[in-house]
Each structure stands twice: as structure tokens, then as C-alpha cells.
Amino acid sequence: MAQKAVELILMRQLASCLAVPVFLVDPEGTLLYYNEPAERLLGRRYDETGEMPASEWGTMFTPTAEDGSPLPADELALSVALRKWHPAHRGLIIRSLDGVTRRLAVTAFPLEGQGGRRLGAVAIFWEERPS
């Protein structure tokens, strides 16, 4: 297994220290890591899922748009950030693996290393609660 770029390692280390849910993917969209706060939102520990291709994680949480219409995987904020190489933000609803339906706001941004190396993308989640 190839070693991760140090920027990804540092991003994971930062995420592991944050209280904000963070999701980290490589340039192909493969899930590399999510932190403990994200585990609570997604309903499963990272140690149980491990690395996972985009085709798998993009659908396993059955994401829908805020109006309840289906949300294709390539319209998720992370997918848009990778495809357009530009920050992206959107609201969505997921069904976590613990069976709980959650309304989230997600902001994703690309990770670009020195020399223009495309390393992946990061998503920060926020659970929207009724005020």
C-alpha cells in the first residue's frame, strides 16, 4: 500500500483532533479517513469501514436533497469539489448506518499540494437541528 502524501497525513492528524466532523478522500474520491465526530453522524466507526471507493460511500448513506429528491453521488459536495477542483457547499439528508435520518450541511474543498499535486478533498459536516 503506497504511503500517503504528508499533506494527507497532516490533514488526518488535524481532523483527529477536531470536534467538527471531517471526511477525507483521495483524488479518485476513495474514502481515506473520517474522524470520531463524523463517526457519530454516519453511524459507524472508521475502523469498521476502512478505506472505501466513492461508488460505495456515495450511496451507502442514501443521500437525498433537502426537498427529499434523490441525490446522485456525483452531486455530493465532495464529488463536486473533486470534479470542479473548487470549494462546494450543499445541504442534504442522509440515513446514517445506525438508522437515524440526519439533515446536514456539507462544505468540501480540494487539497492541492506543492507543485499543483492533486491530493484529494476534505468535507466538513454540520448537523442542522431544528431551532
For every residue of 92-131, DSSP letters joined together read: EEEE-TTS-EEEEEEEEEEEEEGGGEEEEEEEEEEE----
**Rounded to the nearest whole angstrom, what is the least distance from the CB of residue 59 to other proteins in the complex?**
26
Binding window for other proteins (CB under 8 A); candidates: 8-16, 21-29, 64-72, 97-105: 8-16
Residues 94-113 that bind other proteins (CB under 8 A): 113
- Any contact of residue 19 with other proteins (CB under 8 A)? no
Q: CA of 125: how far to CAs of 3, 6, 25, 116, in Å?
A: 26, 23, 14, 26
Q: How far is the CB of 16 from other proteins (least distance, A)?
A: 6
Residue 90: CB minimum distance to other proteins, A:
29
Q: Would you count residue 36 as binding other proteins (CB under 8 A)?
A: no
Number of residues interacting with other proteins: please give it, by CB under 8 A: 18
DSSP-derived 3-state class of residue 131: coil
**Contact present, 52 and 85 (Cβ < 8 Å):** no
CA of 130: how far to CAs of 10, 27, 67, in Å?
34, 35, 16
**Per CB under 8 A, 13 contacts other proteins:** yes
> For the chain, percent helix, then strand, then coil, each to nearest 5?
35, 35, 35
Pattern 59-98, binding to other proteins, x per CB under 8 A? ----------------------------------------
Contact residues toward other proteins (CB under 8 A) are: 1-7, 9-10, 12-14, 16-17, 113-115, 117
